[in-house]
Structure 1
Amino acid sequence: MAKIIRKTAPKKTASKSQPAMAQRAGKSRVQSRAKPAQEKSAKKAAAKSVPKRAAAKSPGASKGGAQAVKPWTAAEVYEAFSRFRKANPEPKGELEHLNPYTLLVAVVLSAQATDAGVNKATRALFAVADTPQKMLALGEDTVRDYIKTIGLYRNKAKNVIALSQKLIAEFGGEVPRTRAEIESLPGAGRKTANVVLNMAFSEHTMAVDTHVFRVSNRTGLAPGKTPLEVELGLERVIPSEFMLHAHHWLILHGRYTCLARSPRCELCLINDLCRWPEKTV
């Protein structure tokens, strides 16, 4: 009787490559988990090895931004403005004008423009239109032609016509004498109102332009992060007897001495009182 030989299927053996792949994948996962921790440790080690640097100065510290300084004493403030008064008893603004109305128009036109540039344009304009009525008679197109050398002249021409209309309609053609009313006019803001009130009506207001802002912060006289903060700070510290001309003294000081770049510290009347750490005297 013939023997029946049964063939058994060969046993499947795990591929040698599969454990190796699994091992490598597991190792990779472990390494990926460990990597952030290693990087974190490396950063900590690097931080310890590098000596701490001195705190960097904020850009505003040298350009006019607010900085923590020792406040001026009342005696120092009085001394500073006494020197300004002695050097220039009757300071004048550099915007040319004929009356409160032309002053208002000139200040509105001076936004983002120099006084010299505004004066060049307004000499001819004010020769033919020095009242709201005459300005309206010229019309927006003609006003635009007169002031086209000034930045943003198209929008400014619209504002000049609009504010002239409002002056006639609501204020009898006269420039109002309150800050709120002046600020209600097209193109006029708080600084415009303060300039007009001070220069036209001798009010003790403080208009803060880029020069006043820089001088107040750099010297430490009235540090502030905004023009309004500086304005209120100056009004708190400046004695009343100086307030009529304080705005002009600070503007002129910033324009010709305490320059944004390369301030002329050697010529400064108050360099011994100034708190700026980078002053050159």
Structure 2
Amino acid sequence: MAYIASWGAAALAAPFLVWKLVEWAARKITAAVDPREPAEIAALTESRREIVRAFEIERRRIERDLHDGAQQYLVTSSMAVGEADLILETGGDVDAARKLLAKAQDDGAAALRALRHTVAGVHPKVLSDLGLEAAVRNLAADSPLEVTVRVPHQLPELPEGVVAAGYFMVAEALTNAAKYAGGASVSILLVADDDLHISVVDDGPGGAVISPDHGLAGMKERLAAFGGSFGVMSPPGGPTTVQCQIPLLLRQGEFGVVIDEADRS
């Protein structure tokens, strides 16, 4: 009976002990959060919300690109093959069937190009194969503007997330320059120390601002999520400077600064 009573007492005490444990853990968590920094906590929450929103926007973009691009070509290709098959089965005009099959082949090739374009928008192959500098130079070459890329020192090996963030920042800045400063000349600068520093300067009319729900605002929030900074300076009359600073997120023992032999003397 004493044995049973001791177990009963323990059972009654268990909820109290669990509650005390939760209370202790809550005090520890509360102590770990500096009550003097509510603004920083709010900013972190907002940046995380923006990242989630950005992912959803990107998912919808991919879905739309697939629907309006590759899917349409694949549908018309399938229809052409079906029509050609029907003509051949019924002993119809062979030349007409051949034209339909040729059209199906062209549509298949167009679908493949559309798919490659969609994939490139997610993560360009040149970015994985050749790195940030080469990918940015490709962006410059494809831009309708006159773009100069300057990389004074060889960039170090960068984490994939940093490379992608830098690339899409440049892409967004060039897109905005082409849209609002047609005919402008653009200069892109890439340098790295403990951070990756990027600036995109155009000699257009200026007046650019970071507006909610636009590309530059989304980029600012994405960079802020892992400690990066982003800013736009664009007085009336220009020039417009879009710049960012992205932590390299190096592990202990890794080095972000690369010094050329010529710079050692």
Class of the TM-score when normalised by the shorter of the 2 chains? under 0.3
Which protein is bigger by CA-based radius of gyration?
A: 1
Higher strand share: 2
Question: Structure 1 length normalisation: TM-score?
Answer: 0.23
Q: Which has the higher contact order (CA 8 A, sep 6+)?
A: 1
Question: Structure 2 length normalisation: TM-score?
Answer: 0.24
